Amino acid sequence: MTFKIISVDEKKCVSCKICEIVCSLEKEGVLNPARSRMRVYSLYPRVDVPVVCRQCNDSPCKNACEYDAISRNEKNNSITIDSINCTGCGLCIEACPFQAMFLHPETNKAVTCDLCEGDPTCVKYCPTKAITYVPWEESLEAKRGSEKRLYQDLNLFVD
């Protein structure tokens, strides 16, 4: 199956975090990056990394969920969270190798990127084109092979 992904070129990111704020406005109608479906991490001084769902084939988040709240959207390959079934237990958040699952600060349910029905708002407003929405075969991610290695190289989630 062919699908598109929000491809991340961390070398172009300037950490303006416009993606976070337009995401909260699009998905929730509020100005509040804490409710966004993505995060930008600044790894001073050389790189800033937008972190958003990588659409893993083996979907560790889905496998970790014990409440049948996570499924795959067949139309665009995004991860869908059923907010009724979700208990906010946090297992998916722990399981995500990219920390791209978030706990909503008000509802306490898991949220993640749903690709805005195939027209991601963050991509539209990114001023440097650090994030683009492209077919998987053409993405930087496909060329790199393992995304995990990129994150390891950047030392992103190792404290």
Q: Which residues bind another protein (CB under 8 A)?
A: 11, 14-18, 21-22, 24-25, 29-35, 39, 41, 44-48, 105-106, 125, 127-128
Q: Cβ closer to another protein: 31 or 87?
A: 31
* Residue whose pair of structure tokens reads 């920390």 in the numeric block: 99
Residue 47 Cβ, how far from another protein at the closest point, in Å?
7
Q: How far is the CB of 155 from another protein (least distance, A)?
A: 13
Nearer to another protein, 39 or 54 (CB): 39
Taking the CB of residue 111, how many other CB atoms lie within 10 A of it?
A: 20
Collapsing DSSP to helix, strand or coil, 134 comes out as strand
DSSP 30: S
Nearer to another protein, 77 or 97 (CB): 97
Residue 25 Ramachandran class (φ > 0 left, ψ -120 to 50 alpha, else beta): alpha
Q: Are the C-beta atoms of residues 133 and 4 closer than 8 Å to each other?
A: yes
Least distance in angstroms from the C-beta of 61 to another protein: 20
